[in-house]
């Protein structure tokens, strides 16, 4: 088997992560820091002789499952196909050993993304150095949309990047506000959307226009491989990226069981600042944000100054 380029090897290993239920890849990268060790586990005649240096015995069965998946998906050729497909979308791969990989994501430990596909200009780590995640309910109210849009607009005007998604509701409003505040003088992208699907897939279709606007004037980021459709698992995994990527997360609206509360919980676990916007006491769309504030998990946020103050606390 020919030796792949670094990019192809990393793209292949990222694709294999979906078969890695035991988390072998993440554990190996966390403890050894090298993709070459993972590559040897996949291709060595005897993987048990590969010096992985984990603090516990390696799961032989899990390694064999990975090796089987590697062979079944055409080895390094799978990564080469992904790299070629993403080149058509002007996308590049940012692996966890790249200087462009955001350092905050490494706070996730073995659960950190192995690599990210990215479109857009600028250096990703620099773009999110000062950033706030603005997210919330998909079934948002006009009040919530207005607050999210104004909040994101003001953050970008202050020189802060806004991280969210292309989903319906609060996330779309936040991205619209960030884009409206973005102009040609911005050297780095200020509107960053984290996707639960491949970069070549538009989801939801109802926000196709927003997707294209971010492609042209912001940044799209995902750990999903080309062609991957959004799944419940990928939505959950996206939440941890949104929580870890920024200095703070602000939940604008969230019902009692909103998935946006998962972002707040993960951000809180990571020691990040969490903010929540209050709404009408009669609004079910604000029940979750009110709970965050009442429990002390989140700081009350009404504007960009509050969000930035949360970071400095």
**Model confidence at 53, in pLDDT bands (50, 70, 90)?**
low
Is 33 a residue whose pLDDT tops 80?
no
CA separation for the pair 32, 22 (Å, rounded): 17
Residue-averaged pLDDT of the chain: 92
> What are the backbone angles phi and psi of residue 195, rounded to the nearest 5°?
-105, 150
CA separation for the pair 24, 108 (Å, rounded): 15
Residues 116-138: tens digit of each pLDDT: 999 988 899 999 999 999 999 99
What predicted TM-score, i.e. pTM, was given to this entire model?
0.93
**Model confidence at 26, in pLDDT bands (50, 70, 90)?**
confident
Per-residue HEC secondary structure of 210-239 comes to HHHHHHHHCEEEECCCCCCCCCHHHHHHHH
Residues 278-309: tens digit of each pLDDT: 999 999 999 999 999 999 999 999 999 999 99
Q: pLDDT at position 38, please?
A: 86
Q: CA nearest 75: which of 83, 63, 85, 67?
A: 67
Q: pLDDT at position 56, please?
A: 66
Between these two residues, 83 and 46, which has the higher pLDDT value? 83
Residues 126-174: tens digit of each pLDDT: 999 999 999 999 999 999 999 999 999 999 999 999 999 999 999 999 9
Catalogue all structural domains in the chain, each as residue range(s) with its CATH number: 6-88 (no CATH), 124-312 (3.40.50.450)
User: 264: Cβ–Cβ under 8 A, 6 or more apart, which residues?
Assistant: 243, 249, 251, 254, 274, 276, 292, 297, 298
Q: Which of 48-52, 162-166, 266-270 has the lowest mean pLDDT?
A: 48-52
Between these two residues, 98 and 34, which has the higher pLDDT value? 98
Enter the tokens of residue 79. 């990564």
Is 203 a residue whose pLDDT tops 70?
yes
């Amino acid at each position: 088997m020919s030796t792949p380029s670094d990019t192809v090897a990393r793209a292949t290993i990222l694709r294999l992560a979906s078969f890695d239920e035991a988390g072998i890849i993440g554990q190996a990268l966390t403890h050894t820091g090298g993709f070459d060790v993972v590559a040897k586990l996949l291709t060595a005649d005897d993987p048990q002789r590969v010096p992985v240096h984990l603090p516990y015995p390696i799961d032989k069965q899990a390694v064999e499952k990975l090796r089987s998946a590697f062979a079944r998906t055409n080895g390094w050729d799978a990564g080469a196909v992904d790299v070629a497909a993403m080149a058509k979308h002007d996308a590049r791969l940012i692996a966890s050993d790249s200087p462009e990989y955001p350092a905050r994501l490494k706070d996730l430990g073995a659960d950190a993304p192995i690599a990210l596909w990215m479109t857009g200009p600028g250096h990703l780590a620099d773009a999110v150095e000062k950033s706030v995640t603005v997210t919330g309910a998909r079934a948002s109210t006009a009040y919530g949309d207005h607050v999210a849009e104004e909040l994101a607009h003001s953050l970008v005007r202050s020189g802060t990047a806004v991280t969210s998604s292309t989903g319906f509701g609060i996330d779309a409003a936040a991205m619209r506000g960030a884009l409206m505040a973005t102009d040609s003088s911005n050297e780095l992208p200020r509107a960053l959307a984290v996707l639960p699907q491949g970069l070549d897939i538009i989801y939801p279709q109802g926000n196709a226009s927003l997707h294209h606007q971010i492609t042209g004037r912001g940044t799209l980021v995902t750990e999903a491989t080309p062609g991957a459709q959004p799944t419940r698992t990928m939505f959950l995994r996206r939440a941890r990226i949104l929580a870890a990527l920024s200095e703070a997360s602000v939940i604008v609206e969230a019902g009692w069981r909103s998935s946006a509360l998962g972002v707040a919980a993960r951000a809180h676990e990571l020691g990040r600042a969490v903010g929540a916007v209050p709404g009408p006491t009669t609004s079910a769309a604000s029940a979750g944000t009110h709970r965050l504030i009442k429990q002390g998990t989140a700081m009350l946020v009404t504007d960009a100054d509050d969000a930035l103050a949360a970071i400095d606390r």
